[in-house]
Structure 1
């Protein structure tokens, strides 16, 4: 995964915890879900979709 995308997701999670009422425990559970989801058979498809979207966004700007 691209580092800028990871950074944007981390910043988004921080602001959700800070302003959106998301608790730290919710963020930890979501991070653990993502970590374990990366080991499933669906991970390559999701990775490919994210790369496609990032490619389209990079062409726009």
Structure 2
């Protein structure tokens, strides 16, 4: 696909490296989503904790 679009010839190694970069980008994106979700949940827990004036076991 890249070879056809750019009219160049890539070696097998280059294709592998490009594939690895694409997979790595997807993994990093998923990790960022998880970190953001955890921050959101922690924020909600903090709001609820102060709203009901109660401490809970967060483990």
Using the size of structure 1 for normalisation, the TM-score is 0.36
Higher helix share: 1
Which protein is bigger by CA-based radius of gyration? Answer: 2
